Amino acid sequence: MLNIIFFARVKEELGCGGLQLEWSDTLSTLDALQEHLCTRDNGRWGEILTEPNIIRAVNQSVVVGDTPLNANDEVAFFPPVTGG
């Protein structure tokens, strides 16, 4: 299972804190997973998940560019950080 989680404004706009999807050949990269998620809710998720400054993390490490996904990976999508 891929464990997908959202934070902050992304979570609020999607109306979803996270979901689980079965890993498969068609969901074997981060870009493929994102494309799949973008089709949800008649494409509404795509407007939120394709914002240019969205940050993607796999297993709690920020990823720049595409990367392969393995079964049981944790994938997070979140907006730019504003702590401190």
Partner 1 sequence: MASSSATTPAYSPSIRSLVTVQEADFDIAELQKWLLSGEADEGAITTFTGYVRADKNGGDILYMELEQYPGMTQSSIESIVAHAGERWPLLAARVVHRVGRLYPCDQIVWVGVSSSHRADAFSACEFIMDYLKAEAPLWKKVFNGLGGYWVEAKASDSSRAGRWSSKHGK
Binding site for partner 1 (CB under 8 A): 5, 7-9, 12, 53, 55, 57, 60-62, 76, 78-84
Minimum distance of partner 1 from residue 44's CB (angstroms): 19
Residue 54 exposure: Cα atoms within 13 Å on the Cβ side: 22
| Residues composing the chain | 84
State the nearest-atom distance from the C-beta of 66 to partner 1, in Å. Answer: 17
In the complex with partner 1, the residue whose CB is nearer, 42 or 61, is 61
User: Distance between CA 55 and CA 53 in Å, rounded?
Assistant: 6
State the nearest-atom distance from the C-beta of 81 to partner 1, in Å.
5
24 Cβ contact partners less than 8 Å away, ≥ 6 residues apart: none
